[in-house]
Structure 1
Amino acid sequence: MADSQTWTAAPAAAERARSVLAAAWSCAVTAEGGREEFVGAHSVADDGRVLLRVPEDSALLGAAICAPRGEPSAVLEFADVAPVPVRGRIRARLWMAGWMAVEEGHLAFHPTRVVLRQQSGSVVVDRDEFGAAKPDPLATAEARLLTHLADCHGDAVERLTRLVDPDSLHGVVRVRPLAVDRHGLTLRIERAGAHGDVRLPFHRPADDIAQLTERMHVLLTQASGASCPRALHRQRTESDG
């Protein structure tokens, strides 16, 4: 059996922030020239710089040329949106303040301050840790994985609720997969007037999809040996009736 530290592991703030960057498809940029939104126009360098492909007439280019080097001249905002429809679909927001410069045909944004806001609150991410961190290895595949789990394996999601404290399932009306990373799977528990999240950690981190498949099989095996939550059993019986 894995030790308790491994069993309760979760991504560090820097890794989580880099994962949001890796998976995000759009971003909003606020600078002296105003606010612009871009879709599919950014990439991320290994050191955490954000490279933007902007039109030649973009006000951001003028702001990048005129802004003093080293002074905060822009703020980038990224939203981490759950790929599966759930209540409260925004899982996290990432704000990055810094300065911009034109580099090798791209508008390069150099972050000087990184703030990650999640359900648990906001945290300022250490800049050196952010630059050295890597995104979760499952970040770019997460949307496809969760959508497949929700659309094709609803029975497996229901079975996994056997691993959840029964008190957390009181009044439940729907359970959906909310997030997955190398450390575990998070379920969104929806009730009539509220919702909450439950994390099911893996026995050890998964560094690729093959390992994730094995980790999920372990969770399902554990769930198969647990009793069915009475709240879900009662709900299913009433629905069948």
Structure 2
Amino acid sequence: MFRPGSPLPRTGSAHGGGADADAGTAAGAESVRRGQPRPEAEPDTRRPGAAERMRTLVESNASASLVIPGTDLGDPQWPGQGCCEARAVTGEGDVLLLVPAGSPAARAAAHARDGDLAAVMEITDVAPVAVPHRIRGRAEVAGWLTPVSGGERTACDRLLAERHPSGPFPGAAWTPLRLEVGEGWIGDLRGEGHVEPDEFAAASPDPLARHEAGLLQHLAAAHDDLLRGLCSLLGERQRACGAWEAVVPVALDRFGLRVRFRADGQSFDALFDFPRPVRNASGLRHAIRALFEAGSAP
């Protein structure tokens, strides 16, 4: 499976240099780590693993497309047909995809021998706020594509409808396909990682993923003062607090909030860890409040 290089443009100078800073917890830890995020070497219970991050991205609304070797997915008769209009993950860890009926992807799956059609789903994650270098990560899920039919169709339609209550709805205009996961790769703000099928099936998506976009957009639009207050938790870098032209929240998960500080074409990310992983929206409200209180403390 093809895996590109670093999936993220590095923030910073015109040559792509930059720095990433981890700025401790809401209690005010002030360690600052410079350099780009490092690939994970060992599991860390204080950070989401590669399988959790990939599962979160697969189940998100991030844009995704299919690549099927030997199939022309650029047919002008089917604009966008290489896209997966909806997707969901089964209990066994297979990925269900909804594609236009009659599209090259649907036809290729229908005419392939059972389980013989190799495919790669490519996902691009874009920050929901306006900020330079908005691509936060990319993932690739490689496996084997088969059409969903027979007794499985009803359960598949139900799962897709639950995941996408606003549509598109399974029906004559759409064909559900099943992607049996063979391997996966993710490269994002947390680092890079390979994911095995059993790891993907066993992982759970981040419980805050459905709240992330709305909260980041709200913070960026209405709470610039609170975001700038977090600068006081940056240790040696807090001396430059008044110089930042923009302070923008770029990512959120159950472990913490990532904020991008930018001035004069230079930027760096600071990761503010929550005191403990957050499980739900109520816990998120308490964690965010504690974080901003720490930033505004004298």
User: Is the shorter-chain TM-score for this pair beyond 0.5, marking a shared fold?
Assistant: yes
Q: Kindly, what percent of the aligned residue pairs are identical? A: 35
State the AA in 2 paired with 1:192. D
Aligned to 1:146: 216
Q: Does 1:206 align with 2:251?
A: no
Q: Which amino acid aligns with 2:119?
A: A
| 8 Å contact kept, 2:140–2:184 | yes
Deviation at 1:221, TM superposition (A): 1.8
CA distance in 2, matches of 1:98, 1:55: 20
CA-CA distance at 1:56 after TM superposition: 1.9
1:21 aligns with one of 58, 62, 70: 58
How far, CA to CA, are the matches of 1:33 and 1:41 in structure 2? 21
Counterpart of 1:190 in structure 2 is 262
Name whichever structure is richer in helix by fraction. 1
Alignment-derived partner of residue 110 in structure 1: 180
* CA deviation after TM superposition for structure 1 residue 24, in Å: 2.5
Distance 2:232 2:114 in 1: 55
Give the residue type in structure 2 aligned to 1:50: V
Closer, same or farther: CA 172–152 of 1 in aligned 2, 3 Å: closer
- Relative distance call for 1:88 and 1:164 in structure 2 (3 A) is same
1:186–1:197 CA contact under 8 A, matched in 2:
yes
Q: Which residue of 2 aligns with 1:46?
A: 91
Please say which of residues 126-135 and 189-198 is displaced more in the overlay.
189-198
Distance 1:67 1:113, change over 3 A: farther
- The match for 1:158 is 228
SS at match of 2:83: strand
Question: Any idea what SS the aligned residue of 2:99 has?
Answer: coil
Structure 2: which 5+ residue stretches go unaligned? 1-24, 30-43, 74-80, 154-174
1:97 aligned residue: 142
The CA distance in 2 between the partners of 1:169 and 1:37, in whole Å, is 49
Q: 1:118 to 1:27 in 2, by over 3 A?
A: same
Distance across 2 between alignment mates of 1:128 and 1:89: 31
Which residue in the other structure is 2:72 paired with? 34
Gaps of 5+ in 1: 227-241
Cα separation, 2, equivalents of 1:8 and 1:173: 34
Aligned alpha-carbon RMSD (Å): 2.5
**TM-score (ref. length: structure 2):** 0.68
The answer to whether 1:59 aligns with 2:108 is: no
Once the two structures are superposed, the pairs formed by residues 66-81 of structure 1 within 5 Å of their partners are: 66-71=111-116, 73-81=118-126
Q: Is the 1:10–1:184 contact (alpha carbons within 8 Å) kept by the matching residues of 2?
A: no
Q: Which amino acid in 2 is paired with 1:132? A: A
2:114 and 2:90 map into 1 onto residues whose CA distance is 19
Distance 2:274 2:177 in 1: 39
Aligned partner of 1:224 in structure 2 is 296
* Pairwise CA distance, 1:169: 7.1
Letter in structure 2 aligned against 1:125: V
Structure 2 CA distance, aligned partners of 1:96 and 1:39?
13
Cα drift, residue 184 of structure 1:
0.5
Amino acid at match of 2:132: R
SS in 1 for 2:101: coil
Aligned residue pairs total 223
The verdict on how the C-alpha distance between 1:152 and 1:210 changes in structure 2, with shifts beyond 3 A counting, is same
Higher strand fraction (1 or 2)? 1
**What is the alpha-carbon distance in structure 2 between the residues aligned to residue 128 and residue 39 of structure 1?**
23
